[in-house]
């Protein structure tokens, strides 16, 4: 939302301050648009609803990959430990379970962050009109 | 690979059918990497493939888009300038909200990353194109770059103090070794989850589209009453195409925002 000032440089002599005029005009328009959008949103809340459902799929996918990634990372580390130390099955076994723990921890963290985000959005539903 | 996904309906063969199941349609054919012109550097196969071609196309498309869209430099932007400004603002806000002012120097990188993933995903939606982000090696290369970069930023900024990221405060000393190991694994799992998420989303979506298009061709090929039924998978395909465009955007967004979150962790250490 930055207004390029150098373009208006030559017009400055017309009025007292055309740039400020423009800006207050724009902000008045912005307020008007926002009021309209809010009114529209109050009347038909479906678009927000479908948007939420789409992100719900995204959330589910995020959580599941988080869990799987923990497992894979643990497996790779365990396999690497086995290769270096020659402790054939034990590294993989132990780190597989540690990886599972890490995955669950990641899922828990992500879910907590998501819940906090959702709570924050519910507090002030009228903001964030143009977001996402 | 071709047990569940292989569609063998009717007698319709498409250009992608090769050997194997005779007249079936292979939904995985679209992911095959084909050499366009071979390059061999010291026994290493560095050929220019269709994957390379579409990555180059994505980069070129982004350059053309960003350079020419803002060419008019209007006070009230036109369509393309508006899209360019919106995408700039979108990423700028994302970086500001997730990393604060400390993350501002990394904005160009995150913008590039977001645009590359977005354009790769969107170009993949064009029929007969190649989706580079449906290959794990491409997404893993991006994620590994982010991972190494973020770790180096953290080390440069905090020195050895960076490793306190792995030891949460207020932890009993007895539990410390276990938790540190788990935290390190959790940290190492980041590039994996980042790359697998993008790759799996694109792979699954595009496979599904091809399977449904196989149904359409099969039904029409069966003729008679069945040809009329082709409208059902056709309708599903239209809906899935819309969903895929949403997923293409959403995954680019998720990739960029997670990079911001990781960067924030490295910059501010909890």
Q: Could you give the CA distance from residue A14 to residue B248 in angstroms, rounded to a whole number?
A: 48
For residue A99, the model assigns a pLDDT of 93
Count CA atoms within 13 Å of residue B146 on its CB side: 32
Contacts of A128 (CB under 8 A, 6+ apart): A121
This model of the complex carries an ipTM of: 0.71
Q: Which two tokens stand for residue B110?
A: 């995150």
- Confidence at B256, pLDDT banded by 50, 70, 90: very high
Q: What's the pTM value of the predicted model, to 2 decimals?
A: 0.75
- Tens digits of per-residue pLDDT, A8-67? 444 444 445 555 566 678 888 888 888 888 887 776 655 444 455 556 777 787 888 889
DSSP B29: G
- Tens digits of per-residue pLDDT, B213-238? 888 888 888 878 888 888 888 999 99
Q: Could you give the CA distance from residue A115 to residue A27 in angstroms, rounded to a whole number?
A: 34
- Tens digits of per-residue pLDDT, B4-32? 334 443 333 444 444 333 346 788 888 88
Q: Does A108 touch chain B (CB under 8 A)?
A: no
Place of tokens 């995954």: B251
Which residues of chain B are at the A interface, by a Cβ-Cβ cutoff of 8 Å?
73, 75, 89, 181-183, 185-186, 188-190, 192-193, 196-197, 200-201, 243, 246, 250, 253-254
Q: Please check the confidence at residue B47 and state whether its pLDDT lies above 90.
A: no
Residue count of chain B, please give it: 270
- B21-35, B102-116, B139-153: least confident range: B21-35
Nearest to B196 among A1, A55, A68 (CB): A68
Question: Residues B165, B169, B173, CA angle at the centre, nearest 5°?
Answer: 105
Nearest to A73 among B188, B197, B254 (CB): B188
Q: What percent of chain B has pLDDT over 90?
A: 43
Q: Could you give the CA distance from residue B195 to residue B218 in angstroms, rounded to a whole number?
A: 34
CB pairs under 8 A between A and B: 68
Indicate the helix (H) or strand (E) that contains B215.
helix B176-222
Measuring CA to CA, how many Å separate A16 from each of A19, A20, A21, A23, A65? 9, 9, 9, 14, 59
Beta-carbon separation of A102 and B185 below 8 A = yes
For residue A21, the model assigns a pLDDT of 61
Q: Could you give the CA distance from residue B122 to residue B58 in angstroms, rounded to a whole number?
A: 9
Residues 40-99 of A with CB under 8 A from B: 54-55, 58, 61-62, 65-66, 68-70, 72-74, 76-77, 95, 98-99
Q: How far is A19 from chain B (nearest CA, A)?
A: 11
Place of tokens 């993933």: B117
Phi/psi of residue B36, nearest 5 degrees: -95, -55
For residue B6, the model assigns a pLDDT of 41
Nearest to A61 among B188, B192, B201 (CB): B201
Residue count of chain A, please give it: 132
Q: How far is B82 from chain A (nearest CA, A)?
A: 11
Contacts of A97 in chain B (CB under 8 A): none
């Amino acid at each position: 939302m930055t207004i390029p000032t150098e373009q208006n440089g030559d017009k400055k002599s017309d009025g007292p301050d055309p740039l400020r005029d423009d800006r207050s005009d724009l902000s008045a328009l912005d307020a008007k648009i926002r009021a309209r959008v809010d009114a529209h949103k109050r009347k038909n809340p479906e678009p927000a609803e479908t948007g939420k459902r789409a992100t719900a799929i995204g959330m589910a996918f995020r959580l599941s990959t988080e869990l799987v990634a923990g497992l894979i990372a643990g497996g790779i580390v365990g396999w690497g430990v086995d290769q270096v130390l020659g402790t054939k099955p034990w590294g993989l076994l132990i780190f597989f379970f540690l990886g599972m723990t890490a995955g669950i921890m990641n899922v828990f963290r992500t879910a907590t962050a998501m819940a906090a985000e959702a709570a924050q959005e519910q507090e002030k539903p009228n903001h964030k009109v143009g977001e996402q | 690979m071709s047990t569940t996904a292989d569609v063998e309906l009717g007698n319709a063969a498409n250009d992608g059918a090769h050997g194997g199941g005779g007249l079936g349609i292979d939904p995985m054919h679209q992911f095959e990497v084909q050499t366009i012109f071979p390059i061999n550097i010291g026994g290493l196969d560095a050929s220019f493939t269709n994957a390379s071609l579409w990555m180059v196309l994505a980069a070129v498309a982004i350059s053309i888009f960003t350079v020419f869209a803002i060419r008019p430099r209007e006070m009230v932007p036109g369509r393309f300038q508006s899209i360019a400004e919106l995408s700039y603002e979108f990423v700028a806000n994302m970086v500001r909200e997730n990393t604060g002012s400390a993350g501002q120097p990394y904005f160009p990188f995150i913008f590039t990353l977001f645009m590359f993933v977005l354009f790769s995903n969107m170009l993949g939606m064009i029929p007969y194109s190649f989706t580079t982000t449906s290959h794990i090696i491409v997404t893993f290369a991006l994620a590994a770059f982010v991972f190494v970069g973020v770790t180096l930023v953290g080390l440069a900024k905090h020195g050895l103090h960076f490793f306190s990221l792995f030891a949460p405060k207020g932890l009993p000393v007895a539990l410390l070794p276990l938790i540190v190991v788990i935290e390190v694994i959790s940290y190492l799992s980041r590039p994996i989850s980042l790359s697998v998420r993008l790759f799996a989303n694109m792979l699954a979506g595009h496979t599904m589209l091809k399977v449904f298009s196989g149904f359409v061709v099969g039904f029409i090929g069966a003729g008679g009453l069945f040809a009329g039924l082709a409208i059902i998978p056709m309708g599903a395909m239209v809906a899935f195409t819309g969903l895929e465009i949403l997923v293409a955007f959403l995954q680019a967004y998720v990739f960029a925002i997670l990079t911001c979150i990781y960067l924030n962790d490295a910059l501010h250490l909890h």
